A = this chain, B = another copy of it.
Amino acid sequence: MARTQGSHSDITGPRVRTAALRLFAQHGYAAVSMRQIAREVGVQAGALYNYTPDKQSLLFGLMKQHMDELLAARAELSATGDAVTDLEAFTRMHIRFHRARPEEVFIAYMELRNLTAENFDAIETLRRTYEDQLEAILRAGVASGDFAVGDPKIATMAVIAMLTGVNTWFREGGRLSLDEVGQIYWDMVRKTVGR
């Protein structure tokens, strides 16, 4: 046997990425074998190499795309010139974006150490770019007198850690909707950086 009915690159390719995403998130990159991914796709292990040069590229591709999408989502927010409004938009965007992609977020945070040195640097640069955007908002707010943060860099890390933490406990269908959670966190963020 060989090529089966209805097999296409356009179909199998995305399925490989989806399967890898799910399995990496659930068991971890190192614990997942190419044969497991292949089984989930419904294909033999060798066929995966039509879609990725190797396992490492599969991981890097997922992380790279995730970071690109994150920066794109951030770029879509239009700056108002008012630091408070911008921070609120950033806060709600961050929560919504991360909540919509729990598996990507998990991988992006947990599998950094399984990247090669070059791939690691590439992802870290993107992450740093994102953090810098929040830091810029905080600095603008300090300059305008809206915020009172002694150390904008630390406040940036604190806010991001706080917001990303939502993913560890939020479950769809719980006692709070995502919008309610967004409101609660915005209240906390505002107080954290406020005067």
Distance (whole angstroms) from the CB of A83 to the closest CB of chain B? 16
CB-contacts of A139-195 with B (<8 A)? 150-151, 154-155, 157-162, 164-166, 168-169, 176, 181, 184-185, 187-188, 191-192, 194
| Chain A interface mostly | helix
Distance (whole angstroms) from the CB of A151 to the closest CB of chain B? 6
Q: A151 to chain B: which residues have CB within 8 Å? A: 176, 184
Distance (whole angstroms) from the CB of A146 to the closest CB of chain B? 14
> Which of A25-33, A45-53, A63-71, A72-80 lies at the interface?
A25-33
The 8 lowest CB-CB distance pairs between A and B, nearest first, are A161-B165, A30-B31, A30-B30, A162-B162, A192-B192, A158-B162, A191-B191, A188-B192
